[in-house]
Structure 1
Amino acid sequence: MKKVDAAVVGAGMGGLAAAAVLAAGGRSVLVCEGSGELGGCAGSFRRSGYLFSAGATYGMGFESGGLFGRLYRELGLPLPPLHPQSVIMDVHLPDRTVRYYRQKEAWFREIRRVFPAKAQNIIDFYEEVFGFSFLLEQVAVHRPVLPPRTSGDAARLLRMADLRLLKRAPLLLQTLGRRLHRYGLEGEEAFVHFLNGQLIDSVQTTVDECPVLLAYTALNVFHRGAYYIDGGLSRIALDLAESVRSSGSEVRLRTPITGLRRSADGTGGWELRTRRGELIHARQVVLGNSLHSFHGLLDGEALLGSSGLPSQEAEENRPAWSAFTLYMGGPADKVFPPADAYDQDGASPVLYHQFIRSYGAPLAETNQFLLSISRPGDDLRAPAGHAAITASTHTAPDPWWSLDRAAYERRKQEYVHSMLEGADRAFPGFSTSLEVVLPGTPVTFERYTQRRRGKVGGYIPQGPLDLLRMSSAYSGLPGVYLCGDTVYPGAGTLGSAMSGWIAAERMLR
């Protein structure tokens, strides 16, 4: 039987961050990942000569004071090859294209250009948003547990409660929609859809349900620093895994964990069972494979009931998205956008594009999708002279599982056609230049990421107090901790990594 101080289930960003911090803290660690790739939903895979990112997203948190900057420094890791993006993305609305600049003054100029009727209202709104920028660094420094469970958790929260936050406390009991009403922006259709596009991709919801705290944090993250990482976001996962190994611990791929039970030797530890029947004994366990996938892992309903984790019925009733993705590749001189889709210096193409096709439909099921293109010269992602492209739209997971094979294939091709048609409207001829087009559905995500029903991105927030409903690092079982996108602080690469760091710190105490 393999014996370790800590076993980590899942090599997503949360699990790897937890493992790296634990290993650096002197613990013997074993990471068990069910798939053949690191990084989970922020991982990558190679097909037809291209290295595709699993999701259409970008690198954040590497700026001064940012979460990944701090984590890399604490682990003694050199930063990956980073390319700051002066343009966060181009947002292609039905009647206009918005260039979303990172730098404040450039963004305010763009607001005046694309939203002239309400420009000052929108600028005043963003001044309030940017007034919360200090909170990002506070969270990165203190890494609080929410909801707090111990006196130490409460103390960390109190250390964050400086005068700047106390003055803004009443805002935290509101949704973003209410704040828009305060600025007279609730009826500004194009701007509200622009905001909804940013929120659906970062925190899985729109202005009407999004807590102000989540919304302002997400909007500030975009402006703190957006980076293209050579090799994609999976480079972070590779770095964290190497940190684990260099500390003398182990990361195993294709090692799904099928059972977790209390150790029979009376030591108070835990036994994990792999699909091949191997038993692993660990004093502590990190479950980083999402709350969607926990049921059936814990041996015995009594054990599950004693943990305080949601029942399977409660978990399934809590709304969550999956994704439909397109992985594409082709000659760079043909698939890149036209010349007007370059940054203000004309030096670099805009690598990230969001498409919102209609104001009259929900921002899911191909009406909204995000598309990312590999950087010219990133030979890790594509053959010389070519580009790797990922496009992703939110989709409800359940319908994909109720279809017979023929209906499933029809639906898949309808989504492919719809997304390519949307891209062609902005970039004529885009689809005909592609050499590789590979679709991925929720069924694909379950197969390759081991996430039940292909659910990704965490839960969908529902109202201003939603943060208090989130699961914290504590599972309720002694020695068992939680991390990942279904655990505070939740969605996205940054949130998942922070949840792992938070769990590891509690374990090291």
Structure 2
Amino acid sequence: MMKETLCFRKEKVPENLDAIVIGSGIGGMTAAATLAKLGKRVLVLEQHDQAGGCCHTFTEKGFEFDVGLHYIGQLHENSLFKLVMDQITEGQVQFVELDKHIDTIVIGSGEKSRKYTIYSGKTEMEEHLKEQFPDDTKAVEEFFKIMKMSARNTHLLAALKLIPQWMALFLLKSGIANLYSSIFRLVGTNATAVADSLTSNKDLHIIFYYLFYGVPPKESSCVINALLLHHYKRGAYYPKGGASEIPFHITKVIQKFGGRVLVRAPTAMHENPRKSAVSQTSLSGINT
């Protein structure tokens, strides 16, 4: 169910703040909860009337709807992601695993429509696709190799951010990085190009990249798209009670250490600082 939230008012701003987070999307809430668990007093400001970004919900005619969250992967026991979720919510959010059949994709309409189903599972996802595309089993195998390689080597991309820029550019432009892992080459290759190289079956192209993050496959990295599908190989999960349970329990962690999450909050980022209630009241005298 939707949870009651506190609207911004001067008297609701805690004193002696250590940090202010502008925006209560899952990234901002995670940062705030992490700081709170380190003993910091954090204020989260949100312009909307609910906290949580794409995790918030709304009601219409007695029904509750999620605005963004569909299902989440990588929440199997002892997974890193489950550990993170348990930390920022102190283990208060319960996740229910969905059936193996997690998605149905319908291409076309009417009598010419084609229906395909997506299964989760370490081996079931790949095998089920092969059953539906018996003439393209090699393409499916190659795509799943890309998925596996991407999942195992993503940390190498992050490592480039930890070394001097000149060194990272040298490793990439000289081709040395490609000798170490093909992820450096594939991350700059768009998803459409990779799909075209694997098969001419347009329906299978859609299956490979039906999960996307707002950027069309011809403009997005094949690694990102592959990781999106790989995310559900170990199952798909939904938060018990709805998506709003996530920001609700993160808010409790922030409040536990003296912080607060305030909605309907005007911020200096979007208004004239001289007119902004935040800049005139809550930001005055705060050490950030």
TM-score (normalised: structure 1): 0.45
Amino acid at match of 2:28: G
Amino acid at match of 1:274: A
Per the TM alignment, residue 100 of structure 1 is displaced from its structure 2 partner at its CA by 0.6
The answer on whether the counterparts of 1:260 and 1:272 sit within 8 Å (CA) in structure 2 is no
Does 2:188 match 1:173?
A: yes
Q: Secondary structure at the match of 2:242?
A: coil
Change in 2 beyond 3 A, CA 1:111/1:90: same
The answer on whether the counterparts of 1:96 and 1:114 sit within 8 Å (CA) in structure 2 is no
- In the alignment, structure 2 segments of 5+ residues that lack a partner are 1-9, 172-176
Q: Secondary structure at the match of 2:219?
A: coil
User: Structure 2 residue aligned with 1:19, among 32, 35, 45?
Assistant: 32
In structure 2, the residue matched to 1:120 is 138
User: Structure 2 residue aligned with 1:107, among 122, 125, 148?
Assistant: 125
The answer on whether the counterparts of 1:133 and 1:217 sit within 8 Å (CA) in structure 2 is yes
Does 2:240 match 1:222?
A: no
Change in 2 beyond 3 A, CA 1:90/1:17: same
Deviation readout 1:428-470 (Å, 9 max, x if unpaired): xxxxxxxxxxxxxxxxxxxxxxxxxxxxxxxxxxxxxxxxxxx
The answer on whether the counterparts of 1:98 and 1:110 sit within 8 Å (CA) in structure 2 is no
The answer on whether the counterparts of 1:46 and 1:52 sit within 8 Å (CA) in structure 2 is yes
Higher RCO by CA contacts (8 Å cutoff, separation 6 or greater): 2
User: Structure 1 residue aligned with 2:205, among 192, 214, 217?
Assistant: 192
Cα distance in structure 2, aligned partners of 1:30 and 1:205: 32
Change in 2 beyond 3 A, CA 1:278/1:100: same
Deviation readout 1:111-141 (Å, 9 max, x if unpaired): 23322221232223213322322246x48xx
Amino acid at match of 1:182: S
Change in 2 beyond 3 A, CA 1:77/1:271: farther
In structure 2, the residue matched to 1:63 is 76
In structure 1, the residue matched to 2:63 is 50
In structure 2, the residue matched to 1:90 is 104
Change in 2 beyond 3 A, CA 1:223/1:274: farther
Amino acid at match of 1:33: E
Q: Secondary structure at the match of 2:229?
A: helix
Amino acid at match of 1:188: N
Cα distance in structure 2, aligned partners of 1:236 and 1:109: 33
Q: Secondary structure at the match of 1:131?
A: helix
Cα distance in structure 2, aligned partners of 1:278 and 1:56: 34
Cα distance in structure 2, aligned partners of 1:254 and 1:67: 34
Cα distance in structure 1, aligned partners of 2:88 and 2:139: 43
Change in 2 beyond 3 A, CA 1:274/1:231: farther
The answer on whether the counterparts of 2:36 and 2:259 sit within 8 Å (CA) in structure 1 is yes
Say which structure is richer in helix: 2
Cα distance in structure 1, aligned partners of 2:265 and 2:188: 43
In structure 2, the residue matched to 1:458 is none
Per the TM alignment, residue 209 of structure 1 is displaced from its structure 2 partner at its CA by 1.8
Per the TM alignment, residue 53 of structure 1 is displaced from its structure 2 partner at its CA by 0.9
User: Structure 2 residue aligned with 1:36, among 36, 49, 65?
Assistant: 49
In structure 2, the residue matched to 1:363 is none
Deviation readout 1:294-342 (Å, 9 max, x if unpaired): xxxxxxxxxxxxxxxxxxxxxxxxxxxxxxxxxxxxxxxxxxxxxxxxx
User: Structure 2 residue aligned with 1:283, among 272, 276, 287?
Assistant: 287
The answer on whether the counterparts of 1:271 and 1:280 sit within 8 Å (CA) in structure 2 is no
Per the TM alignment, residue 190 of structure 1 is displaced from its structure 2 partner at its CA by 0.7
Change in 2 beyond 3 A, CA 1:167/1:272: farther
In structure 2, the residue matched to 1:504 is none
Per the TM alignment, residue 6 of structure 1 is displaced from its structure 2 partner at its CA by 0.7
Cα distance in structure 1, aligned partners of 2:179 and 2:92: 31
Alignment size in residue pairs: 259
Deviation readout 1:11-34 (Å, 9 max, x if unpaired): 121111111011111222111112
Note the 1:246-325 alignment, pairs <5 A: 246-259=256-269, 273-274=276-277, 278-281=281-284, 282-284=286-288
TM-score (normalised: structure 2): 0.75
Change in 2 beyond 3 A, CA 1:164/1:78: farther
Cα distance in structure 2, aligned partners of 1:211 and 1:232: 31
The answer on whether the counterparts of 1:7 and 1:30 sit within 8 Å (CA) in structure 2 is yes
Change in 2 beyond 3 A, CA 1:104/1:120: farther
In structure 2, the residue matched to 1:130 is 148
Cα distance in structure 2, aligned partners of 1:12 and 1:98: 33
Cα distance in structure 1, aligned partners of 2:274 and 2:22: 12
In structure 2, the residue matched to 1:316 is none
CA RMSD of superposed structures (Å): 3.6
The answer on whether the counterparts of 1:135 and 1:217 sit within 8 Å (CA) in structure 2 is no
Cα distance in structure 2, aligned partners of 1:192 and 1:76: 38
Amino acid at match of 1:215: N
The answer on whether the counterparts of 2:25 and 2:51 sit within 8 Å (CA) in structure 1 is yes
Cα distance in structure 2, aligned partners of 1:214 and 1:93: 23
The answer on whether the counterparts of 2:18 and 2:40 sit within 8 Å (CA) in structure 1 is yes
Change in 2 beyond 3 A, CA 1:197/1:260: closer
Cα distance in structure 2, aligned partners of 1:60 and 1:99: 17
Amino acid at match of 1:234: S
Per the TM alignment, residue 205 of structure 1 is displaced from its structure 2 partner at its CA by 2.4
Percentage of identical aligned residues:
21
